[in-house]
Amino acid sequence: MNASAPTTAETLRSTLGGLLDGLPPKQAAAAVERLIASYRGQTPTDVPVLRDRSDVAAYAAYRMPATFEAVRAALDALAEAAPGWAPGSHVDVGGGTGAATWAVDATWDGPRQTTVLDWAEPALTLGRELAAASGSDALRGAHWRRTVIGTGLALPDADLVTVSYVLGELTAQARTAVVAEAARAGRAVVLIEPGTPEGYLRIREARDQLIAAGLRVAAPCPHDGTCPIEVGQDWCHFSARVSRSSLHRQVKGGSLAYEDEKFSYVAATRFPVEPAPSRITRRPQIRKGLVLLDLCGPQGGDPSAGLTRATVTKRHGDLYKAARDADWGQDWPPAG
């Protein structure tokens, strides 16, 4: 890539930045507040929450940068577990304004056939417009189709199927149906949910369903066995840093230049992968001369199995240096 060319993330940010241009700031903030209120209300909903242009513009400007970064982090983990693999086709289910398609574009080079499915026509229309402003052939050539996720769902076969921030909006039946259909249609399936206890439980249930359908977990888990987390005690989630737009600062107050989006995810494949030996499940704690790492390790009886805490000290030399640079969500120990 040309070093001075904007990255996919930069293009997305600037395209979204212009979205609410012309709308008085108070009106833009009001549209976001309305949207947040409807998401706080009853879900699953019988009708789309994103009903019109101002709903979807508010969603895209306010939430899309965060869902984009969460999906990108999940896809990075899949790309690390499957080096050399790149999807030649992608179906994004409940794709809304297309955050996951931008994240796929930021992760793998094309060419790629992209299809976005959603029941909210205004979201698809805006998604198509945003994609048209990108410099990517895969994004510009994407197909945007109105589709209801329910028991009759039939997905086109694809190398990659993503379902991002959608499971929580579905009835239990529709949730089971979409995961089953993603597992049938996708060579790789990536599911992302908010990093809350409820979001984690939906991912945990879906993970079991994907494994039962014959897929292998590529990330974040180092194995296909039962998740070692005791439900109710903790939840598996990660964090992605998101630059805050002026709209964010207006709605949320404060002047922080960024915020951290918490998310839970699972990536599973029908082809062989190399999952991480262990994964860092919390922000590392750096103390004087040592780093504490909370890890989820392999199954079985060895000391690194299940949930453990590693203490890495100066005596560990290069490993100590790596631990000081390590981040929540990364593989451990680092490859190479």
Ligand X SMILES: C[S@@+](CC[C@H](N)C(=O)[O-])C[C@H]1O[C@@H](n2cnc3c(N)ncnc32)[C@H](O)[C@@H]1O
> Which residues bind to ligand X, rule: CB under 6 A?
48, 50, 64, 67, 94-96, 99-100, 118-120, 123, 148-149, 164-166, 169-170, 174
CB 144 within 8 A of CB 173: no
Give min distance, CB of 313 to ligand X, in A. Answer: 41
Give min distance, CB of 186 to ligand X, in A. Answer: 15
Q: Which residue is nearest to ligand X (CB)?
A: 96
Give min distance, CB of 192 to ligand X, in A. Answer: 7
Q: The dihedral of CA 109, 115, 117, 122: what is its sign?
A: positive
Nearest to 129 by CA among 19, 274, 289, 260: 19
Nearest to 13 by CA among 53, 69, 83: 69
User: Measured from the CB atom, is 94 or 199 closer to ligand X?
Assistant: 94
User: Measured from the CB atom, is 19 or 293 closer to ligand X?
Assistant: 19
User: Measured from the CB atom, is 118 or 331 closer to ligand X?
Assistant: 118
Beta strands at 143-146 and 113-118: parallel, antiparallel or unpaired: parallel
Give min distance, CB of 223 to ligand X, in A. Answer: 27
User: Measured from the CB atom, is 67 or 134 closer to ligand X?
Assistant: 67
Give min distance, CB of 292 to ligand X, in A. Answer: 33
Please, what is the end-to-end C-alpha distance for the chain in angstroms? 25
User: Measured from the CB atom, is 32 or 174 closer to ligand X?
Assistant: 174
- Distance, CA of 247 to CA of 60 (rounded, Å): 11
CB 109 within 8 A of CB 87: no
